[in-house]
Amino acid sequence: MDMDFAVIDSNRAERTGYPEVVYCAGKTPDQAEAVMIRMREEGIPVLGTRAQRELGERITRRFPEALYDELSGIITIGSVRGNGEAAGLVAVAAAGTSDLPVAVEAAKTAEFLGSRVELIADVGVAGIHRLFKRLEALRKANVVIAVAGMEGALAGVIAGLVSVPVIALPTSVGYGASFGGLSALLGMLTSCAPGISVVNIDNGFGAGYQANLINKLAAESRPQHD
């Protein structure tokens, strides 16, 4: 679908199973709104990321079913799973409250795409006893997203405690020598704990998307009982 400033990939769901997602940062509110309206006219469920309040308010006024989360900047209009039951379980573990915007972006992305999600907040290594109290919830998940800034140690700790894939999501939270998330990224990439994959700094959407793919495969592979 050609527009003056964008070409909407209306066949992406047929190729990949999931529709195109609208990255709102860098677009004007008018441009992002026009893309979302056009997608809805074609019956495509909408996920918008990094949306500012003005755009969120516009969309929720126009579409009664739309939801806007200001913390994460996520807009949803409908969902991939529709009214069906969410599948499996994705656990999103955030090291600190400051990591929540990125963690919620990951959680809401996975939910939109069809996963059941549990968000576990404030379980960073500075108070590691808090993580141990939530191990049962983490071990029920098919995949864990570990969200952390600073030195990014949370992902390696979790990977040593669970038997499922861990997606390490570095954030730009931290003081000067964290270099805007680079130290967390490098710490996660060089972790000695196996079973970790790493996405880009602050890329909650990418982590949520990948986690949903893993969760879906795990949920589908389980034997069905009459």
Structure confidence by residue, pLDDT tens digits, 58-72: 999 999 999 999 999
The pLDDT-based confidence of 184 (bands split at 50, 70, 90) is very high
Question: What is the domain extent for residue 50?
Answer: 12-77
Instruction: Tell me, yes or no, whether 17 lies in a domain.
Output: yes
**pLDDT for 82:** 63
Same-domain pairing of 173 and 93: yes
Q: Which of 54, 77, 100 is the last residue of a domain?
A: 77
Which class for 88: exposed (0-12), middle (13-18), buried (19 or more C-beta within 10 A)?
Answer: buried
- Provide the pLDDT confidence category of residue 37 given band limits of 50, 70 and 90: very high
Q: Where a domain ends, among 77, 96, 125?
A: 77
Average pLDDT (179-187) is 97
Domain-terminating residue out of 77, 96, 129: 77
Name the pTM for this structure: 0.92
Query: Both 97 and 186 in a single domain?
Result: yes
What is the distance of C-alpha 156 from the center of its chain?
19
- Is residue 1 in a domain? no
5: DSSP letter: S
| CB-based contacts of 177, cutoff 8 Å, min separation 6 | 183
In a domain, 226, yes or no: no
Q: For residue 226, what pLDDT is reported?
A: 40
110/43 same-domain check = no
For residue 143, give the H/E element and its range.
strand 143-148
Containing H/E element for 220?
helix 204-221
53, 128: one domain: no
Q: Which residues contact 72 (CB under 8 A, 6 or more apart)?
A: 101, 102, 104, 105, 108, 204
Domain count, the chain: 2
